[in-house]
Structure 1
Amino acid sequence: MTQESVEELTDENTSKFVQTKDWNIHYNEAGSGPVLLMLHGSGPGATGWSNFGPNMKELSKKYRCIAVDMPGWGRSDACPPEKRDHVEAALQILDALGIEKAAFLGNSMGGITSARFAMAHPERMSHLITMGAGARSTLFAPAGRSEGIKVLQDAYRDPSPEGMRRLVDIMTFDSAFATEELVQQRSNSATSRPEHLQNFLDGLRGPRPVLDFSPLATSEIPALIIHGRDDRVVHFENSLNLVSIIPNSRLVLLNQCGHWAQVEHPKEFNQLVDGFVAGN
């Protein structure tokens, strides 16, 4: 891929679909080389492109970047909560695309999926990279829903531009990132798939799963844990918990950074990812 084509990457010209065993899954792809599988967070209107599009423009110069809309989000198949299994979905994506091993980049929910995938299928993962992933401990983090989680869930009930403006604002440290373009993009994406919204809300009625990440204590996969010091959605203590468990891991804690490290600090984020993957 030429430098010129990298700079011209758009959602439309990188858009693809793959039929896996259980789902028709949309993803954006650019570049060649080692595979970076990018998994988005759980917010309404979230897609692989909305979470990672700008990062792909730089990282695709050296890597094959695949930013997935997980089942239940974006342009991928709807998925009722009882059938939501993103670890299985990620495995099916790798199989359908003929990818033996990939580095996983997961934001928030995508980071949880990536950590769970590392426990279930370590032979298929080369590197584990998480940003703002929830790996609960209770020393300092709120016992109940965080301020950001409350806003996120409210945005599923009100995916209007006003609801999305509140969501984007709480996801970031600097309100300048809550641009009208991003707000409208997220609102349009959410309202275009009302079944995704309802399925997510239906899932809130069930018991909250308790995730055990202790098996990562024997993991040999190198891990880069990134978190914003000012994250109001997932407290950075979650990443302290992860880095305390995983033997071959390191934590980067960014000041003046909210829940979207890859959005607010894209240059540093891209350099961290490249240096980590190339050096391990």
Structure 2
Amino acid sequence: MADIKIESRFVRVGELNIHYHEAGSGPALIFVHGGGPGSSGLSNFSRNVEAFADRFRVIVIDLPGYGKSTKLRITEPLWGFYAKVLAGFIDALGLGKAHLVGNSLGGAASLKTALDFPQKVDRLVLMGPGGGYSLFEKQPSDGILSLVTFYMPPGPSMERLKAFLKYLVFDPSSIPDDLLQERLNQAMDPETAEFMPLRAGPNMPPIDDLWRERLDRLPHETLIIWGREDRVNPMDQGLIMMRQIPNARFLVVPRCGHWVQWEKADEFNRTVSTFLAQ
């Protein structure tokens, strides 16, 4: 990412202080990160920003509860809350509308934004999004259980983080030590730990079942991408979405886990660039 300038910025969305990174110019493209321990926008999409910044205004948001954005107790259904945040974020930046590219939690938030605020979304890219239902695998998955129990006794540690991150990728050796340390530092921040949205316990917000919503009314051109070996949100969840969303394309990536944008960054960047240019 040395060839482009990535700027760190903040914007107010209602009572929330939202942090984001920005690079490039052109049509607005918002990357929306996943919800694991220590997650943030740039830590999820560091291998993708440069590939898009020559043609798009790339905006990498930290959702509330993550990164440098406001930490708070979320009491309403999670995807609906984040949809309102993303819609307000688009308005606060004066974008009118934007392409949304979301992974996992960010995929669910992006999909819910398109459902509730369709005029604010251009094209939609969903990578292993939450809110689905598995036809063939147990629910919740081992990856989800590892995520939501991360803060349970004996508490967060590098060993526990590595145990979770192995569910994100097909090849755990692909995650460098500096990213592990960055995520652990963020996860152990006291405010982050207290207000982690996906933390098992009485304060965990309700999770919307997006597959039950009227996906057949979604007008957007949609690209659904799934790692075949995804152990967080199993790949068969995408079959329901593909069947229901009228303008959906479905790409399955072999030898790849939940983090397609990381493990298969070159393929992801080419495929998404082509889709957004159509």
TM-score (norm 2): 0.91
Change (3 A) 1:275 1:205: closer
Tell me the distance in 1 between the aligned counterparts of 2:215 and 2:208.
18
1:249, distance to aligned residue in structure 2 (A) = 0.8
Tell me the distance in 2 between the aligned counterparts of 1:87 and 1:44.
21
Q: State the aligned residue count.
A: 270
Indicate yes or no: 2:152 matched with 1:153.
no
Instruction: Provide the aligned C-alpha RMSD in A.
Output: 1.8
Unaligned runs of 5+ in 1: 1-5
Give the counterpart of 1:39 among 22, 32, 48. Answer: 32
Tell me the distance in 1 between the aligned counterparts of 2:156 and 2:252.
31
Paired position in structure 1 for 2:12: 19
1:175, distance to aligned residue in structure 2 (A) = 1.7
Tell me the distance in 2 between the aligned counterparts of 1:39 and 1:48.
7
Paired position in structure 2 for 1:164: 161
1:46 aligned counterpart, secondary structure: coil
Tell me the distance in 1 between the aligned counterparts of 2:167 and 2:178.
16
1:19, distance to aligned residue in structure 2 (A) = 1.3
Paired position in structure 1 for 2:251: 252
1:139 aligned counterpart, secondary structure: coil
Change (3 A) 1:87 1:206: closer
Structure with a larger share of its residues in helix: 1
Provide, for residues 228-274 of structure 1, a one-character-per-residue CA deviation record: whole Å limited to 9, x for no partner: 00001110111111111111110000010000000000011011111
**Contact 1:79–1:196 (8 Å) recurs in 2:** no
Q: Give the share of equivalent positions with the same residue, in percent.
A: 36
Paired position in structure 2 for 1:3: none
Paired position in structure 2 for 1:270: 269
Indicate yes or no: 2:249 matched with 1:240.
no
1:177, distance to aligned residue in structure 2 (A) = 1.5
Indicate yes or no: 2:86 matched with 1:90.
yes
**Contact 1:243–1:250 (8 Å) recurs in 2:** yes
Tell me the distance in 2 between the aligned counterparts of 1:177 and 1:205.
31
Change (3 A) 1:207 1:248: closer
**Contact 1:118–1:125 (8 Å) recurs in 2:** yes
TM-score (norm 1): 0.90
1:9, distance to aligned residue in structure 2 (A) = 4.6
Paired position in structure 2 for 1:196: 192
Unaligned runs of 5+ in 2: none
1:8, distance to aligned residue in structure 2 (A) = 3.8
